[in-house]
Amino acid sequence: MAQAIQVSQLSKTFGTRKALKSVDLSIQPGEMVALIGPSGSGKSTLLRSLGGMNVGDTGTVTIGNRKVQSNGKISSEIRSVRRGLGVIFQQFNLVGRLSLMTNVLMGCLGRIPGWRGTLGFFPVDEKEKAVAALDRVGLSEYGERRASTLSGGQQQRGAIARALLQGANTLLADEPIASLDPVSARRVMELLARLNVEEGLTVVVSLHQVDAAVTFCKRVIAMRDGAMVYDGAPAGLTQDILRNIYGPEYEDFAQVGVSPA
C-alpha cells in the first residue's frame, strides 16, 4: 500500500535560517501523529509543506501516490491532492460572517460548479451530508449561527466538519488547540482521535502541549532546529529526551490540562 505521506530529504531555508534540514518521514494510512518541538523548531513549516502551502528548497513530498512538491516546485497534481486533505489552522478557519452550515458546505465546492456555491445553491444531498457532518462533530444545533459568534473550540470543530464534507482522508492540523481553553482543547483532540479510530482518517497534528500529544497520539515526532530528533511511541519520551528537545526549562513548555477528564 502507498504511504499516506512520504517526505524525502526536505530542506527549507528562510534567509539564513534553516527551518527544515533534510527531513525524511513516512506516515502510513490511518496513523495519528503528533508533531512537537519548541517554538521555531520547524513544525509549521513541515506541516505546511505536506499540504504544499510551503515550498521546500530541495526534497520531495508525496501524499498517497501523488506528488505535492519536488525540489522547490509545486506539483501539477496539487489540486487533486488537496481534495483529499483537510487543513485546520490555529485560527481563521471559518468565514465569520457566514453561517456555520454555509462554512461546512464550502467543503463540497470542489464537487459542484463554483457559481452554485458562490450563490448559496447547494445540492440537497450535500446539505444532508453537512447536517450529518455537524452532528458528527457535536454541533447539530449550531448550523444557523454566524461562525463569528461561535467559541474557538466550536469553530475548530466546524472546520473539521467542513473537512469531513470535503471527503478528506487526511487531516493536517497546525496547532489547532493553541488558542483554546483546556476543556475545548480536549474536545477537539478527542474528536480528531475519534475520527482517526472510527473513520480511519490519517491525522498529523502539531502541538505545543506535550501531554496532549502523549495522550491522544500513538506516534510522536519531535523537531528541534529543523531536524527530527525523536520519532516513536509516546512512552519513549523520557524526561531526558524531553529536556533534550526543549532545553533544561522544558517543564515550562509542557503545558498540562488537556488529558481526558
Ligand X SMILES: Nc1ncnc2c1ncn2[C@@H]1O[C@H](COP(=O)(O)OP(=O)(O)OP(=O)(O)O)[C@@H](O)[C@H]1O
Return the C-alpha cell found at 53: 502551502
Nearer to ligand X, 14 or 121 (CB): 14
49 binds ligand X (CB under 6 A): no
To ligand X, the closest distance from the beta carbon of 261 in angstroms equals: 26
158 binds ligand X (CB under 6 A): no
29 binds ligand X (CB under 6 A): no
To ligand X, the closest distance from the beta carbon of 115 in angstroms equals: 34
Say if strands 66-70 and 58-63 run parallel, antiparallel, or are unpaired: antiparallel
With residues binned 3-state (H G I as helix, E B as strand, rest as coil), the percentages for the chain, rounded to 5, are: 40, 25, 35
Cβ neighbours of residue 95 closer than 8 Å, sequence gap 6 or more:
102, 103, 106, 147
137 binds ligand X (CB under 6 A): no
224 binds ligand X (CB under 6 A): no
Q: Choose the binding region for ligand X from 32-40, 92-100, 116-124, 196-204 (rule: CB under 6 A).
A: 32-40
- Element housing 7 (H / E): strand 5-14
82 binds ligand X (CB under 6 A): no
Q: Give the separation between CA 145 and CA 56, rounded to whole angstroms.
A: 39
Nearer to ligand X, 42 or 86 (CB): 42
DSSP assignments along 131-183, one per residue: HHHHHHTT-GGGTTSBGGGS-HHHHHHHHHHHHHHHT-SEEEEESTTTTS-HH
To ligand X, the closest distance from the beta carbon of 88 in angstroms equals: 14
List, in sequence order, every residue forming a beta bridge with 69; answer none if it has no partner: 61, 74
- Selected from 16, 39, 76, 239, the binder of ligand X by CB under 6 A is 39
Return the C-alpha cell found at 24: 525524511
To ligand X, the closest distance from the beta carbon of 96 in angstroms equals: 23
- Size, binding site for ligand X by CB under 6 A: 11
Q: How many CB atoms lie within 10 A of CB 178?
A: 16
19 binds ligand X (CB under 6 A): yes
- Selected from 5, 34, 41, 49, the binder of ligand X by CB under 6 A is 41
44 binds ligand X (CB under 6 A): yes
Nearer to ligand X, 40 or 167 (CB): 40
Nearer to ligand X, 17 or 243 (CB): 17
To ligand X, the closest distance from the beta carbon of 187 in angstroms equals: 22
Write down the H helix ranges in 51-99.
78-83
Binding stretches for ligand X (CB under 6 A) = 14, 17, 19, 37, 39-45
